[in-house]
Amino acid sequence: MKVAAFLPNDYTKNVASGNVTWKSPSNIALIKYWGKKEDQIPQNPSISFTLEACATTTKLSYKKHDQPQNDFSFDLFFEGTQKDDFKPKINTFLKRVEQYLPFLKDYHFTIETSNSFPHSSGIASSASGMSALALCLMSLEKELNPKISQEDFNRKASFLARLGSGSASRSIEGDIIVWGQHANTIGSSDLFGIKYPYGVHEVFKKYHDTILLVDKGEKQVSSTVGHDLMYNHPFAQQRFVQAHENLTKIQSVLADGDLKEFIAIVESEALTLHAMMMTSSPYFILMKPNTLEIINRIWKFRETSGTHVCFTLDAGANVHVLYPENEKDTVYPFIQKELLKFCQNEHHICDQIGFGAKKL
Ligand code: DP6
């Protein structure tokens, strides 16, 4: 599929005003996106579990101008307060998507957004935030062109969300999403995320992700800067090859429910992501001492308990603790007893695999 497929046909309806609200989830990558080309094209494919509890709710109100304007016109409210410092990011997003949504300068927008997780919890809100906004804009496009199919709607929402933030392309649907062209994944694309197209073992139908908030501070290095450091990175090419291989490997794991192999791939991906950060120029470390404490405790507990608890990491110090539903009664008490002390104020979020964004 080519980018031109996302240019709209003529709109058949005239819409003067209205509003729409979407609740869009975050997601956690099992195989990580780290490194991109121009126009938000990933250097390697990634795969993620869509989450359920961590989500952004965005209400978009729109009112048509009497005359089309030369610039975008919008107000932004974050958790009830006008937030002008978030506007440049939205403005950049609107510029990137304008050619695919040619009505943008015809309207004044009010964007009211809030997160289910606390602000500055160290949980990235770009995936849920950008996907929620992309979905709201798609709902307006659907009003202008009611003929758009559900499949095209989701695909274009993911395409637009990607232009806001790469990982946001994986937050439209659930429960497992692939984004990025991969030879062994039919229908995969660099332009948008797709639902994982192959069989998945029962054990992955309900999987827990308990997010341990180790460090709620501002990130020292943003994802955008981190992605850029993959240019001229001495290990980049090998890393991109490895991600392709890991995506092939995880397909049989997802099919047959081999949790030992699942753990090996997922933990290696998390540590490789951080290894890329530690070996870039300039180098940096986002893990904290408590991140390592938690990882060591997980390893020790896994050995002694015979459970399949494992961890993954985002571009930060927080730890995502993953485990299957049938081990919850053993693993969650362990988290409470042995891991929460390494979180700021024992702060954690009990999340699990989810099924995508919802229109409210
Ligand atoms: C480490 O999607 O936040 O979470 O495209 O620059 O907005 P931008 O980056 P972003 O990067 C996410 C990186 C990651 C891995 C992943 O989610 O695959």
The predicted structure's pLDDT at residue 219: 67
Q: Is 44 in the pocket of ligand 1 (CB under 6 A)?
A: no
Amino acid (1-letter code) at residue 331: V
Where in the sequence is the domain holding 308, given as residue range(s)?
204-352
- Write the pLDDT tens digit of every residue in 162-190: 999 999 999 999 999 999 999 999 999 99
The predicted structure's pLDDT at residue 153: 97
Q: Is 39 left (phi over 0), alpha (psi -120 to 50) or beta?
A: left
Q: Is 171 in the pocket of ligand 1 (CB under 6 A)?
A: no
- Write the pLDDT tens digit of every residue in 44-101: 999 999 999 999 999 999 999 998 789 999 999 999 999 888 899 999 999 999 999 9
**Which pTM does this prediction carry?**
0.97
Same domain? For 8 and 53 the reply is: yes
Query: What's the rounded mean pLDDT across residues 108-135?
Result: 89
Q: Is 130 in the pocket of ligand 1 (CB under 6 A)?
A: no
Measure 68 CA to ligand 1 centroid, in angstroms.
34
| Cα–Cα dist 104/106, whole Å | 5
Which CATH number covers residue 160? 3.30.230.10
Best substitution site from 223, 225, 228 to test ligand 1's pocket, by max atoms within 8 Å of Cβ? 223
Please determine, for residue 121, whether its predicted confidence score (pLDDT) is greater than 90: no
Closest CA to 265 of 1, 32, 4, 7: 32
Which CATH number covers residue 214? 3.30.70.890
Same domain? For 17 and 113 the reply is: yes
Domain membership flag for residue 360: no
Same domain? For 217 and 189 the reply is: no
Same domain? For 80 and 228 the reply is: no
Q: Are 71 and 114 in contact (CB under 8 A)?
A: no
The continuous run of DSSP H or E covering 103 comes out as: none
- Write the pLDDT tens digit of every residue in 244-295: 999 999 999 999 999 999 999 999 999 999 999 999 999 999 999 999 999 9
**220 vs 70 pLDDT, higher one:** 70
The percentage of residues in the chain with a pLDDT greater than 70, rounded to a whole number, is: 98
The predicted structure's pLDDT at residue 218: 66
Same domain? For 164 and 248 the reply is: no
The length of the chain is 360
Domain membership flag for residue 115: yes
